[in-house]
Structure 1
Amino acid sequence: MKTDNLLQQINFIKEIDKVKYIQRKTKLFNSDRNENDAEHSWHLAMMTIVLAEHSDVPVDILKVLKMVLIHDIVEIDAGDTFIYDTAKSHSNTDEERIAANRIFGLLPKEQADEFISIWEEFESGQTNEAKFAKTMDRLEPLLQNVSNNGGTWKEFDVPYDKVYDKKKVIKDGSAAIWDYAEKIINESVEKGILKKTSK
């Protein structure tokens, strides 16, 4: 039985190598190279460890780490949906659900069930762990865009109100991090790297 588990786990490990090929719209800090999903997930995991003290409430750090490391694995099949996409919803989609069942289903049943449950918890964003994980997920590209003089905001003509609306979920996990994030969003307007328009 353990051998069967190992083979299934190795197949999963091979499959998730594809995460390294999923290109995101955001670029690395102070760079013109696009980030991939694996780099994004690694960075969120490090941010979780470093910034955990700023969570509004105590959280299970291991669970948050699991969330940030697996939340984008579904993009192997479903692709990356740009957070400011106007044509496609960034929320949990049928494609992502099918992808979660297929990819996590490569694992032994108990692990598959756990990973699907953790992915669902992250997507719903209701628990303290999910809120903090989403704080990390929204903070990283904000920092990247600021470092790149507007980055994807400029490239895709994203206005202040859209950025503010998508980023305000940060406050659900950390008031302190939201205070910082709100400040740099507003400073980005003052610097002219984020347009304050209604449309």
Structure 2
Amino acid sequence: MILDTLLKQIDFIKEIDKIKYIQRKTKLFNSDRQENDAEHSWHLAMMAIVLAEHSNEKIDILKVLKMVLIHDIVEIDAGDTFIYDTEKNHTNTDEERLAAQRIFGILPKEQAEELIAIWEEFEASETAEAKFAKAMDRLEPLLQNSSNNGGTWNEPGVTYKKVFAKKSAIKEGAESIWPYAESLLNEGVKKGILKDERN
């Protein structure tokens, strides 16, 4: 029984190695190299630890860490959808749900159920932990794009209004960080690296 459990856990560990090959649109700070999902998840985990005091509510940091470390594992099957994609919805597709069932389902039943529930909680963005985890997920690419002369803000169809709408999730989880985040957006407009359709 112990061996069976261990073998399932090892199979899962091997499977999630594939996340290292999923390329994101965003690039590393001051770099031309695209970030992969594993690097993104690690960075969010570190950000969550360092910035936990900025959460709007008291949080279970271990649960937040689980969220940010597993939230993109579904992209092994579903691929990374650009947050500003005009053809495919970025939020919780059927593909992602099927991927969650398959990948987390490799684990022993109890662990699989726990991780699927945590993934669902992150996607729903209703609990304090999910809101803070989502704030970190929105903050990291903002910092990256600010350091990369606009980065993905230069993609067709990306405007201040769209970026502002997505980034406002930061306020929902970490209100004290929002003024800084908003200043980066305004600075982007001022520098001409973020298109402002309001003018």
TM bin (shorter chain): over 0.9
C-alpha RMSD of the superposition: 1.1
Structure 1, residues 126-172: CA drift from partner, whole Å, max 9, x if none? 00000000000000000000000100111435110010011101100
Read off the aligned partner of 1:188 and give its amino acid letter: G
How do 1:1-199 residues align onto structure 2 when only pairs under 5 Å count? 1-197=1-197
The TM-score normalised by the length of structure 2 is 0.98
TM-score, normalised relative to structure 1: 0.98
3-state DSSP class of the match of 2:57?
Answer: coil
Q: Is the 8 A contact 1:12 1:103 kept in 2?
A: yes
Secondary structure of 1:35's counterpart equals strand
Aligned-pair distance for 1:73? 0.1
Counterpart secondary structure, 1:31? coil
Q: Secondary structure at the match of 2:168?
A: helix
**Unaligned stretches of 5+ in structure 1?**
none
In the alignment of these two chains, the number of paired residues is: 199
Residue 26 of structure 2: SS of its match in structure 1? strand
CA distance in 2, matches of 1:160, 1:103: 36
Contact 1:154 1:193 survives alignment (8 Å) = yes
| One-letter identity of the residue aligned with 1:134 | K
Point out where structure 2 has 5 or more consecutive residues left out of the alignment.
none
CA positional deviation for 1:178: 1.1
Q: Cα offset for 1:115?
A: 0.3
Looking at structure 1, the residues matched to 187 and 19 of structure 2 have their Cα atoms a distance apart, in angstroms, of 33
User: Do the aligned residues in 2 keep the contact of 1:159 with 1:198 (CA within 8 Å)?
Assistant: no
Cα pair 1:9 1:108 within 8 Å, conserved: yes
* Distance in 1 separating the partners of 2:159 and 2:94: 28
> Take 1:4 and 1:161, find their aligned partners in 2: how far apart are those partners?
51
Shift of 1:98: 0.5
State the distance in 1 between where 2:121 and 2:188 align: 32
Provide the rounded CA distance (Å) in 2 between the counterparts of 1:64 and 1:156: 33
